[in-house]
Amino acid sequence: MRAFAFGVVSAFLWSACASAAAMSEDRDRCLANDPDVSLAGCAAVLQTPSATRGQRIEAYLATGVAYLRKGDFDRALIDLDQAISLEPGLAQAYYVRGAVYIMRRSYDKAIADFDHLIALNPADGVAYYNRGTARIGVGAYDGAIQDFDRAVAINPRDVESISNRGAAFALQGNFERALDNYDQVLQIDPKNAPTLANRCLAGAVLGRLDQALSDCNAALSLQPEEVSTLTSRALTYLKLRNPGAAVADYEAALLRAPKQASAVYGRGLARLMSGDRSGGDADIRAAMAIDPTVEKRFEGYGIKAN
């Protein structure tokens, strides 16, 4: 997700409402990148009786950003709502609040905030990208693809929008179209590790196994411990009928994410393939207990338990 620069908040509000001489030490701390320093400085600004409306808006916005950086999404929303109540047209607050909603998986609320931003500026490619990301979250893949199309029309080298458009196609089961988008990203950025990993998965599903293995190896050389890439390479090994290598990758993934249903289920399939019926059946039962949809997902990849 891409929404805003954390270190940049609405300095224009301050300068519009107070002279440069009024830029105090508290305000400097309020705008600091360190969230704890920022929170202390913003609290001091907000506790100052003489603080202007513009200073309070800026402090609430900066506080929301600081809480977002700390992962305290509920507190972030309280302060962002305060900023918007004081200045309903403050676009930055909608960006940050939309980002918080995405992180909280409150996708409908995120969509509403990015709808508002797009209404304000129909040429805002970042807003289209973020709304597309939120639409993926609610399963509105066609709408997400349309948003990514608009973002790419505004910026043809927007690799994040192109990559997410590929992900939306993959979630629809259209791995050919997904692959086309991943190819576009890698023409622009050949060392984009997440896209190499996504192309590995799409290639594995489509049976282009040598290229898939090459893509996963390249992605892991850039991000050696990425769980999703390890599971994609393990899937490739399953399709290559190399259960030993598949088990090794699934177990490496499970060291980092012990309850990753795809890794548990895939390891079960690999164990069945190698003749370990009891171990394979146990893994498949455990995976289905974690995520009952995992079996259907693997069937979509072209692999069924025997």
Does residue 246 sit within a domain? yes
CATH number at residue 291: 1.25.40.10
| Residue 28 pLDDT | 86
| Residue 50 pLDDT | 87
Does residue 254 sit within a domain? yes
pLDDT at position 3 over 90: no
Nearest Cα to Cα of residue 183 among 253, 304, 169: 169
Does residue 164 sit within a domain? no
Percentage of the chain exceeding pLDDT 70: 92
* Separation of alpha carbons 8 and 1, rounded Å: 17
Does residue 30 sit within a domain? no
| Residue 221 pLDDT | 98
* Containing structural domain, residue 249: 191-306
Q: Are 284 and 269 in contact (CB under 8 A)?
A: yes
pLDDT at position 12 over 60: no
Q: Rounded mean pLDDT of 46-52?
A: 89
- pLDDT band at 27; cut points 50, 70, 90: confident
Q: Rounded mean pLDDT of 147-175?
A: 97
Does residue 22 sit within a domain? no
- For residue 169, give both structure tokens: 């196609």
* Separation of alpha carbons 60 and 76, rounded Å: 9
181: three-class secondary structure by DSSP: helix
pLDDT at position 41 over 70: yes
Does residue 224 sit within a domain? yes
- The 10s digit of each residue's pLDDT in 77-115 is 999 999 999 999 999 999 999 999 999 999 999 999 999
Percentage of the chain exceeding pLDDT 90: 87
* Separation of alpha carbons 201 and 189, rounded Å: 18
Q: Are 99 and 130 in contact (CB under 8 A)?
A: yes
Does residue 239 sit within a domain? yes
* Separation of alpha carbons 175 and 196, rounded Å: 14
How many domains are contained in the chain?
A: 1
Q: Rounded mean pLDDT of 209-224?
A: 98
Please count the CA atoms within 13 angstroms of the CA of 128 that sit on its side-chain side.
Answer: 22
pLDDT at position 17 over 80: no
Does residue 238 sit within a domain? yes
